[in-house]
Amino acid sequence: MQRNNILDDFDFDQNQYFEENSGEVVAKFYSPLEAEVAAARLRSEGIPCFLANATSQSVMPHLQLLVRLHVRPEDAERARILLAEAAIDTEEPENRTENNRFLIGLAIIIGLLLAILLVRAMWLIN
């Protein structure tokens, strides 16, 4: 039975990269799509890898199986660094809160000016 994935560029049964049970897990994903993107990123950098449970997750999504990304033990550290570089930074920078304060103050001033103009226009009509 052939078990290769569409993104895999090597044959699992006769590959020079992985011995049986030699892959090290460097990341786990709930989304098969996210796992495929991470695997493609590693492959683009020349790191051979494969996904475990990707098909199971697609066939039985209600089970919430984790898709595991495996690499060779010697590539594990470099793979983790590459995946960390691609991670989204969720911390809010300090200057962003200062920008928000400025924008809120500006919105208040514009709102007050518009209110004054509206009252003045209504006073002129009467």
Overall number of domains in the chain: 2
Could you tell me if residue 10 is inside a domain?
Answer: no
Rounded CA-CA distance 43/49 in Å is 7
Dist. CA 23–CA 69, nearest whole Å: 9
Whether residues 96 and 80 fall in one domain:
no
Please tell me whether residues 97 and 73 are part of one structural domain.
no
SS3 state of residue 30: coil
For the question of whether the overall pTM of this predicted structure is more than 0.85, the answer is: no
Mean pLDDT of the chain: 78
* Within-domain flag for 96: yes
Q: Answer yes or no: is pLDDT of 84 > 80.
A: yes
Cα 110 to Cα 1, 40, 76, 103, 120, distances in angstroms: 69, 49, 55, 10, 15
pLDDT value at residue 3: 47
Same domain, 36 and 79: yes
Position 12 confidence tier, pLDDT thresholds 50, 70, 90: very low
Q: What is the pLDDT of residue 2?
A: 43
Number of C-beta neighbours around residue 71 at 10 A: 25
